[in-house]
């Protein structure tokens, strides 16, 4: 059962790994960990989520915590509720972008600071395993409130009006279908074509994971058919956003960081912007050109949020499609990513493909995932083989040369290693990729 505790959250198969009993114990452990009085909880659209929400609340109440339930919500809405209501912590019942038969919970302290595998989740896991009996319900109080209207009040000031603009939005039957229609009612300059706005935890059309190309294929065709200027794809709990340009092409998530950097640096000249270490060299290059301060960070929302606070960054992004905003409490938000891109494009008066084109100047491998055995030995062999390069261990192993680089890291969410490479041109990329993969594949599980 310890396998349900991951690097950033708690999740597993329902009901075999995650069920009402386990969630009740998790709620109790979380309440004991916080040792605070008042938490807020929300849940996504999965069939199992309302029952798991109630079970978590019962466990938290048993720890003497007061629980306020905001009902069905996006993860950014739950984060905002923690900050706006000055709660001591919060819990979002969701499995994010995973298929329908999964569920889980994301846990936060005050100010929506996430618990992670290095801070908070190990303590909750220990309490979970030392609670061998079913928590007794009824000590703490439980109440409900609607937070959607207040959430929209918090989002609307970020919207900048401009020329009429046609877009297509694929909510993937996830939680983006809850708040996006209400937001669009207040955006008269935006002509939005909706796709799969009805929340449905069975995901009848596709898994709500915009990172995987097959999940945006229909959106890409629809953008072209509707003659739209832009397409958006949200994940299941709407804390991530994928982008499609007016030609129907997917826009690399790291290049979105560089593009939106211009928008934020115009508002805050000289500001610090974070990018994850897998991003193209074009990202820090562009941030410096704009007068900003680019700071590299390891992968993962808990690490990025911590680093943002440490260096007072105004914006951050990573290859998974998470984008982070200081002005919204350092949270990641799919809908605020959409708003920011709309603000940029309506002010620039140029199509997205034209803006992104100059940034797409290096040859890149994309993320290559490989199941391996004896990963410590693999990393040692790579370090030795590439000892003449500049090595870094911020997250896994990064090796950099003047005309190419690679990063190999162990996934925080799956039993694989992830390889990303970039070079000045395709011949260099293919040559060096063959060499690196030649070593990695010696350790591949068969």
Residue tagged active-site, from 96, 116, 302, 398: 96
Q: For strands 190-195 and 165-170, give the pairing.
A: parallel
Identify the three-state secondary structure at position 425. Answer: coil
- The CA distance from 2 to 13, in Å, is 13
Rg (CA), the chain: 22
- Asked if the peptide bond before residue 15 counts as cis, ω within 30 degrees of 0, the response is yes
Find, among 304, 308, 254, the residue nearest to 284 by Cα.
254
Give the separation between CA 251 and CA 351, rounded to whole angstroms: 12
The structure tokens 């990064």 sit at 398
Dihedral angle computed from the Cα positions of residues 190, 195, 197 and 202, in that order, rounded to the nearest 10 degrees: -160
DSSP string, 52-105: HHHHHHHHHHHTT-EEEEEEE--HHHHHHHHHHTT-SEEEEE--TTS-TTEEEE
* DSSP class of 392: E
Residue 161, classified by CB atoms within 10 Å of its CB into exposed (0-12), middle (13-18) or buried (19+), is exposed
Alpha helices, DSSP H only, in 244-399?
Answer: 253-267, 282-289, 301-311, 334-348, 352-356, 375-385
Q: Is 382 helix (H, G, I), strand (E, B) or coil?
A: helix
- Please name which of 416, 400, 422, 419 lies closest in space to residue 408, comparing C-alpha atoms: 419
Compute the CA torsion angle 295, 300, 304, 306 (nearest 10 deg): -140
Q: Is 340 a catalytic residue?
A: no
The tokens for 303 are 């690490």
Q: What is the DSSP string of 118-135?
A: TBBHHHHHHHHHH--SPP
What residue has token string 């190419």? 404
CA count, 13 A, side-chain hemisphere, 189: 14
The span from the CA of 342 to the CA of 171, in Å, is: 17
**Residues that are catalytic:** 96
């Amino acid at each position: 059962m310890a396998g349900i505790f991951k690097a950033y959250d708690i999740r597993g198969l329902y009901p075999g790994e995650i069920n009402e009993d386990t969630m009740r114990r998790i709620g109790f452990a979380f309440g004991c960990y916080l040792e605070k009085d008042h938490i807020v909880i929300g849940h996504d659209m999965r069939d199992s989520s309302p029952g798991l929400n109630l079970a978590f609340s019962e466990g938290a109440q048993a720890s003497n915590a007061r629980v306020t339930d905001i009902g069905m919500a996006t993860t950014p809405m739950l984060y905002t509720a923690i900050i706006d209501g000055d709660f001591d912590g919060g819990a979002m019942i969701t499995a994010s972008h995973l298929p329908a038969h999964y569920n889980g919970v994301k846990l936060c302290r005050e100010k929506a600071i996430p618990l992670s595998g290095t801070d908070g989740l190990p303590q909750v896991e220990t309490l979970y395993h030392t609670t061998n009996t079913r928590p007794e319900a009824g000590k703490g109080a439980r109440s409900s409130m609607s937070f959607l209207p207040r959430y929209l009040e918090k989002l609307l000031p970020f919207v900048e009006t401009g020329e009429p603009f046609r877009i297509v939005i694929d909510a993937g039957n996830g939680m983006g279908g809850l708040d996006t229609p209400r937001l669009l009612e207040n955006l008269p300059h935006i002509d939005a074509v909706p796709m799969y706005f009805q929340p449905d935890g069975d995901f009848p059309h596709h898994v709500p994971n915009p990172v995987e190309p097959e999940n945006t294929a229909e959106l890409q065709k629809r953008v072209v058919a509707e003659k739209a200027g832009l397409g958006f794809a949200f994940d299941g709990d709407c804390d991530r956003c994928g982008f499609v340009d007016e030609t129907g092409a997917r826009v690399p998530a790291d290049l979105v960081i560089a593009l939106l950097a211009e928008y934020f640096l115009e508002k805050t000249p000289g500001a610090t912007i974070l990018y994850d270490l897998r991003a193209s060299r074009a990202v820090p290059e562009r941030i410096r050109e704009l007068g900003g301060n680019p700071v590299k960070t390891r992968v993962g929302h808990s690490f990025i949020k911590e680093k943002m606070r440490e260096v007072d960054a105004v914006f951050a992004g990573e290859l998974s499609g998470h984008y982070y905003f200081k002005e919204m409490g350092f949270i990641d938000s799919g809908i605020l990513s959409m708003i920011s891109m709309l603000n940029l494009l309506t002010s620039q008066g140029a199509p997205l493909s034209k803006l992104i084109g100059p940034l797409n100047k290096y040859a890149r491998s994309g993320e290559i995932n490989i199941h391996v055995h004896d990963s410590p030995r693999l990393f040692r062999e790579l370090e030795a083989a590439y000892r003449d390069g500049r090595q870094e261990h911020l997250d896994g192993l990064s090796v950099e040369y003047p005309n190419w680089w690679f990063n190999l890291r162990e996934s925080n969410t799956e039993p694989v290693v992830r390889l990303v490479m970039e070079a000045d041109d395709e011949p260099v990329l293919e040559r060096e990729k063959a060499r690196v993969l030649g070593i990695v594949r010696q350790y591949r599980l068969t």
